[in-house]
Amino acid sequence: MNDQVVIFAPSPQVTVTVEQVEGNADVHLHAGGQGFWQARMITALGSRVILCCALGGEPGQVLRHLMDVPDIEVRARDVLARNGAYVHDRRDGDRESVAEMIPDKLTRHELDDLYEMTVVAGLGAGVAVLSGSADTATEEVVPISVYQRLTTDLTRNGCDVVVDLAGARLESALKGTPTVVKVSHEELQEDGRAKSDSLDDLLSAAREIAETGVGLVVVSRAADPTLAVFDGEAVTMRAPSFEPVDTRGGGDSMTAGIAAALAQKADVRTALRLGAAAGALNITRHGLGTGSGDAVRALAERVEIEQIEEKKR
């Protein structure tokens, strides 16, 4: 069985985190960015990953070594554009941004090669996740239109496309009709798709996305039960509740759980349980996209899925 997942990660980041251990600074250097964090969780759940990205500049050289991990095959286009990097200080417990290097925009030829690489890998794997670049970038690393093109080209050739995007990137991807859309309640409000964070308004927004042809729409809601719309149904998923260590990355892990389940030919409800469990477990850890696959699957059995009784529209 081909259980690979391809991840489109235009520009991974170098992450530097400073913590305090016995009175001394403890420096951690890792690969990061939405796509790489998703890749780590997918491999923890038993599926291999092909990560399609661009690497350039000093951060790109460092990332080649940091991303050399089991079950993640990095297919990188060498570029002149530099990858991004950030430094966070957590010595006082809270995360404080010290410095951030914004990634450079890819040239036309660099983009063409990265696009080609992603399409070929996606058609071979059968499941692809489209992730974004650094949200703080003043210019898009890749044009917004790339998400529509990739979604269209992959889905029309039999590849299931999972998008974890918001804003203009999500709008673009929706024109290509992805298989799965994962979005947060905050993103739906910021994009003007939902009037508020009420259940009715969020469900209405999810329904509108589903009506464009998307098979599964998942809306994470921080500490509240996640919403999902599929096959005309609307449900909530309630995972076990834990004290959070770092809430960042919970949504990426949820997306990764769903993508891994699709690659492993699981049904929708199994995918939802796995995604909810992965998201819940990840916020108990310092490392984004980390966690034991066995632990996620054990938690998945405790995820409660309930049908939502909607008002007649």
Map out the domains of the chain with their CATH numbers. 5-307 (3.40.1190.20)
pLDDT in tens, 128-181: 999 987 554 445 899 999 999 999 999 999 999 999 999 999 999 999 999 999
For residues 218 and 202, is the Cβ–Cβ distance under 8 A?
no
State the virtual CA torsion across 260, 235, 204, 164 in degrees, nearest 10.
-10
Question: 10-24, 182-196, 244-258, 290-304 — which is least confidently predicted?
Answer: 244-258
For residues 119 and 153, is the Cβ–Cβ distance under 8 A?
yes
- According to DSSP H, which parts of 126-267 are helical? 145-155, 167-174, 185-190, 199-210, 250-263
The fraction of the chain above a pLDDT of 70, given in percent, is 89
Q: How confident is the model at residue 27 (pLDDT cuts 50, 70, 90)?
A: very high
Contacts by 94-97 with C-beta closer than 8 Å and gap 24+?
95/246, 95/248
Mean pLDDT of 77-100: 92
pLDDT in tens, 213-258: 999 999 998 888 999 999 999 999 998 776 555 555 568 899 999 9
* CA 160 to each of CA 36, 37, 240: distance values in angstroms, whole numbers, following the listed order: 19, 20, 29
Strand pairing report for 5-8 and 127-130? parallel
The pLDDT value given to residue 137: 47
Contacts of residue 21, Cβ cutoff 8 Å, sequence gap at least 6: none
The pLDDT value given to residue 124: 95
The fraction of the chain above a pLDDT of 90, given in percent, is 76
Mean pLDDT of 47-70: 96
Task: Kindly tell me if the per-residue pLDDT of 52 is higher than 60.
Answer: yes
Indicate the SS3 state at residue 207: helix
The pLDDT value given to residue 309: 74
pLDDT in tens, 104-130: 999 999 999 999 999 999 999 999 999
**What is the average pLDDT value for the chain, to the nearest integer?**
90
Task: Kindly tell me if the per-residue pLDDT of 201 is higher than 70.
Answer: yes
The pLDDT value given to residue 293: 74
pLDDT in tens, 277-305: 988 886 555 545 456 678 889 889 999 99
Tokens of 235: 């449900």
* 24-32: strand order across its sheet: 24-32, 13-21, 84-89, 96-101
